[in-house]
Amino acid sequence: MATTLPHPVQWVTASPLWASAGDDAPRMQAPGLLQFDSDRFMEELSERLQAEARPDLRDLVAKYESHRERYPGEPDDPPTTPLKLYQPAHGRFYLVAASLVCRLPGLPDHVVDTAHGDKAAFVLRRRGAGGVEEAWVPDTKDARKNRRIWQPLASEQASRLATGEEQLPLFPVNFAVEGKRRRMLVGLIPTSSQATFEAAEAFQPADPQVALKEEAEAKVAGTYEQLKRWKDLPGGAAQADRDEQTAAQKEVSRFLLLDFATLLATRMQAFWTALPGGINPGGACSDLYQLLANQPVVPGSATTWRAALTWAWEHRAQLGRGESAGLDFNLRSSGVSPDALRAALLAAVVTGTYTLPSEPVPVAKLQDPGETHYVLRCVYLRPACGPLCPPVVSTATEDFRLAPFFDPDAPGRPVRIVLPVDTSIRGLRKFKKNVGFALSKGLRKQMSRVQDLKKTMDGELDAGTSFNLGELCMFSIPIITLCAFIVLMIFFSLLNIIFWWMPFLKICLPKVKEG
């Protein structure tokens, strides 16, 4: 049965840093942050510890660095606080390093007995308003228990482990100091997190009315205008191609009616409720009501827009599965102009409400890169000992920030892509065509309609080949890379007319041929 320890244990900075922290009590008690600029950071750390009789890692302590491009003679920026940690994509790796020691003369290492359930870990905490530490813990309001939030901790709670707080692993590194075995515990600091990208911050539009108008424009008015501008096939096109184009236009029309009905039913519920009743709600909705109630959905049809929208909403499940549900209208031939529909719809949406999804959006773990402050604390747990042995939590490290991916101060990891040297037909034909693009018969037919670049830019497409077959197009990776590079330089040159950014994007240096 596990019992309490005969002497207290505590966290201190890693023993190879004691020489520089011995006279500074706060630094001595806080875990250290080590910085590496190579993917071999663990091998480098082990080699350093094994090569020296008295290992000293002071030169590896994380420090301020800026690799921002400066004009000739421009002075360097003064060091900023707090420390900024860069991402592995920038070529930087950071370890939290600490020693778990017995409070005895000489501070001997305390061994973590994993066989009895002991565990050493560290926690990442955020600095909230007023410098309060916040722990990354499960959201108690989430029934599925898979969401986490930042929970503020009172000053007396900061030195304790929060319930359910996420723990990151520490692992031991052994070394010798003048023939005596010692160990320290290190852990990789997560300078980027998958949870950051999976869980974006909750969206709250600055002006809900503007957001509603943008939704109405994107889903209804803009789509309707594009449908009306759909150009007919040339006169010599085959009847099968004309039928296929008409079927596509009808499919677009069905989803347009469904999106229109969804917008009214979910955002403008009062108007949607009054629409079938034959009572004009008046006010800003009057023009839209008159249009939907009186205009036929297509010329010569007895079905009005109101009836078509109601039918689309009632059969939304069938439409979502790709079925026609009896809606066989081509709104491209409708007598309602895009401008009239847009004006009536945007005037009526002022009576609607923009509502956020009912399910709460998860909070991003690492928010506002480059601005939010974080600290680390090391934790020693003895769960087998029960309540007599609460977790031993270290003091906090110095505050630090996490650099965003595109940070001008970040170091640039060099990347070299060597393009094919011999670009002649004889040279390029040597590369194996090892990349295959599988094209369906529909995509192949659509691509075959693009024959003349000028006509395509003018919106005039050919009828396309009619054979009912797909294709498998085989390419060579080196040639694809070469083509992508050429296209990239063409677009850089074109957009340089607008942005004048070419001097900041590329520099081409002549390469001396050896030998």
pTM over 0.95: no
Query: Residue written as tokens 């990349």?
Result: 435
Does residue 380 sit in helix, strand or coil?
Answer: strand
Which secondary structure element, helix H or strand E, spans residue 150, and what is its range? strand 148-152
User: Cβ distance 289 to 280 under 8 Å?
Assistant: yes
- Euclidean distance between CA atoms 28 and 19, whole angstroms: 10
Structure-block tokens of residue 40: 């071999």
- Euclidean distance between CA atoms 228 and 18, whole angstroms: 76
- Euclidean distance between CA atoms 123 and 379, whole angstroms: 7
Bridge partners of 196, per DSSP, are none
DSSP 12: E
User: Within 10 Å of residue 394's Cβ, how many Cβ atoms?
Assistant: 23
The type of residue at 407 is: D
User: Cβ distance 184 to 97 under 8 Å?
Assistant: yes
Burial of 58 (0-12, 13-18, 19+ CB in 10 A): exposed
Structure-block tokens of residue 483: 């083509």
Give the closest residue to 79 by CA, choosing from 409, 369, 372, 412.
409
pLDDT confidence of residue 223? 92
Residue by residue, pLDDT tens for the chain (515 residues) are 455 567 789 999 999 999 877 677 888 999 999 999 999 999 999 999 998 888 999 999 999 999 988 777 778 878 888 999 999 999 999 999 999 999 898 889 999 989 889 999 999 999 998 999 999 999 888 766 678 899 999 989 999 999 999 999 999 999 998 888 999 999 999 998 766 555 544 445 557 778 788 889 989 999 999 999 988 888 777 888 888 889 989 999 999 999 999 999 998 988 999 888 778 888 889 999 999 999 999 999 999 999 999 999 999 999 988 898 999 999 999 999 999 999 999 999 888 776 655 555 566 778 778 889 999 999 999 988 877 889 999 999 999 999 998 898 999 888 888 888 888 888 888 888 888 888 888 888 778 777 777 776 666 666 666 667 778 888 898 889 999 999 988 888 888 888 777 777 777 767 665 55
**Phi first, then psi: what are they for 412, rounded to 5°?**
-100, 115
DSSP 221: I
User: Within 10 Å of residue 204's Cβ, how many Cβ atoms?
Assistant: 9
Torsion sign (Cα): 307, 308, 313, 316: positive
- Euclidean distance between CA atoms 132 and 130, whole angstroms: 6
User: Cβ distance 311 to 325 under 8 Å?
Assistant: yes
Which secondary structure element, helix H or strand E, spans residue 75, and what is its range? none
Give the closest residue to 170 by CA, choosing from 393, 374, 21.
393
- Euclidean distance between CA atoms 252 and 248, whole angstroms: 6
- Euclidean distance between CA atoms 476 and 498, whole angstroms: 34
